[in-house]
A = this chain, B = another copy of it.
Amino acid sequence: MSKQAEFAVILKMNAMFADLGADELQRLSNLCHTQHLSNGEVLFQKGDAGDALFGVRRGQVRIETGASDGSRLTLNFMGPGDLFGEVAVLDGQSRTADATAGEVSELFVLRREDFLAFLEREPKVGIKIISLLCQRIRWQSERMEESMLQPLPVRLARRLCALAADFGSEVHISQEQLGVFVGAARESVNRQLQAWRKEAILDLQRGRILLRNMTKLTAIARNE
């Protein structure tokens, strides 16, 4: 399969371009470039101009934010098929986080100017993107209310359920990072996890969590 055809497949997977016809998809793919990253290479940093949209072909990219004390905390992992950097590209503002390759990676790159020009010619895609951004706004406000109103156990359970959907019952994440995701101190996360271990809801190992009883966990997440 040619690279361009592969780009088209990946783009198609993303809701942003899901209802594009084959020809439009073809034209969009032709605008893409390829970029290789070695392990640990920095793609962009917080504050950089948001001049391109990226998609992962192979490898893994970590989206992280450098805390003021110099420690770096991972916010998200992007794997093959994932698109990232859309917000900065769409509004032309600067990046809000850093992106670093977690392995040798190959990305495709869609430059902001090419993308915007494409948008002007394809109003339908614009409307689709608007919908997606609106969804995101709704989702954000829900999480906002949630994180202010729900106690830590509920937030933690929800995050674990979400991770389970992506990774299966063996979630590979440190308690420190789980704390970042959930907005809590590492110690608090640990204490809650211990409590659940005693209830046989999960098992703990260094760097991973084994979910044993998803029924109970989802019940906690629902906050009955």
* B-binding residues in A (CB < 8 A): 87, 90-93, 96, 116, 119-124, 126-127, 129-131, 133-138, 140-141, 143-144, 147-148, 183
Contacts and interface: CB of A to CB of B under 8 A. Distances in A.
Question: What 3 A-B pairs come out closest when comparing CB atoms?
Answer: A91-B134, A126-B126, A133-B133
21 contacts: A87-B137, A90-B130, A90-B134, A91-B134, A91-B135, A91-B138, A93-B138, A119-B126, A120-B124, A121-B123, A122-B123, A123-B123, A126-B126, A126-B127, A130-B133, A133-B133, A133-B134, A133-B137, A137-B137, A147-B147, A148-B183
Contacts of A143: 144
Nearest to A134: B91
Contacts of A138: 87, 91, 93, 96
Chain A binding site: helix, strand, loop or mixed by DSSP? helix
Number of copies: 2
Nearest to A50: B134
A85 to B, nearest CB: 12
A160 to B, nearest CB: 19
A94 B147 CA distance: 22
A96 B141 contact: yes
A156 B147 CA distance: 18
Contacts of A140: 137, 140-141, 144
A24 to B, nearest CB: 14
Contacts of A183: 148
Given A122-B123, A137-B137, 6 more contacts: A92-B131, A96-B138, A123-B123, A130-B130, A133-B133, A144-B147
Contact of A134 (B87, B127, B141): B87
A64 to B, nearest CB: 14
A187 to B, nearest CB: 17
